[in-house]
């Protein structure tokens, strides 16, 4: 079977983002965003999703991390959409419940073609290293907008922001890995409409 792979380069006056995504691994991460905690999260994302992931980003971090994080999400979502192509022979749905010490995250994804994010975490005003924790929601909103998928993220328990965000990233990775998995007829689109 053909490897499912995409490269995206996004340049604006605020950022320069290069993302490469291989859905069929082998799992590896080459990540340099200028935000240490975000690099760590993408390393976990690649490992737990079984993805080959490269993210190289430069941005106006002197202002804050918003533009960089948002544009990485846009580029990653576009790469996911392109790597999936017509979405033939995929599972389409995936979910995961992931603990990280006291934190427990529930994540579900549908590669439906319809962008929607349900995200019930409120981490406004919280910083983890140089990372504003509420930017995670912007990253995932940008990702679903470009990928055209539905993503639900629920925090079932948790008090440590690092553990919460880590459980979410691992959960998204594991749910996506299940959704993109090859399943059944390799020529079939998993929809009664015949298209996603």
The string of pLDDT tens digits covering residues 110-124 is 999 999 999 999 999
* 190 located within any domain: no
Residue 192 lies in a domain: no
- 26-51: per-residue pLDDT in tens? 999 999 999 999 999 999 999 999 99
81 in a structural domain: yes
Structural domain contains residue 194: no
Domain membership of residue 185 (yes or no) is no
* DSSP-assigned states of every residue in 73-111: HHHHHHHHHHHHTT-TTB--EEEEEEEETTEEEEEEEE-
Mean pLDDT for the stretch of residues 174-184: 97
Comparing 79-88, 96-105, 166-175, 181-190, which segment has the lowest mean pLDDT?
181-190
pLDDT in tens, 60-111: 998 899 999 999 999 999 999 999 999 999 999 999 999 999 999 999 999 9
CATH no. for residue 145? 3.30.230.40
Total domains, the chain:
1
170 is in which domain, residue-wise?
5-180
Asked whether residue 195 is assigned to any structural domain, the reply reads no
pLDDT at 3: 85
- 160 in a domain, yes or no? yes
pLDDT of residue 62: 87
């Amino acid at each position: 079977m053909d490897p499912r792979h995409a490269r995206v380069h996004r340049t604006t006056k605020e950022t320069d983002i290069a993302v490469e995504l291989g859905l069929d691994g082998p799992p590896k991460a080459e990540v340099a965003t200028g935000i240490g905690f975000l690099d760590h999260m993408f390393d976990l994302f690649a490992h737990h999703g079984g993805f080959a992931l490269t993210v190289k980003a430069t941005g106006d971090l002197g202002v804050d991390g918003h533009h960089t994080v948002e544009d990485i999400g846009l580029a990653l979502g576009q790469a996911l959409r392109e790597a999936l192509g017509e979405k033939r022979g995929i599972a389409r749905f995936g979910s995961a419940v992931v603990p990280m010490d006291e934190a427990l995250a529930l994540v579900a994804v549908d590669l439906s073609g319809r962008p929607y994010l349900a995200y019930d975490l409120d981490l406004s005003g919280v910083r983890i290293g140089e990372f504003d924790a509420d930017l995670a929601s912007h990253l995932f909103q940008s990702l679903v907008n470009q990928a055209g998928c539905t993503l639900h993220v629920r925090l079932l328990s948790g008090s440590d922001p690092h553990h919460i965000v880590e459980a979410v990233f691992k959960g998204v990775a594991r749910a996506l890995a299940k959704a993109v998995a090859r399943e059944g007829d390799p020529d079939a689109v998993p929809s009664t409409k015949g298209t996603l």
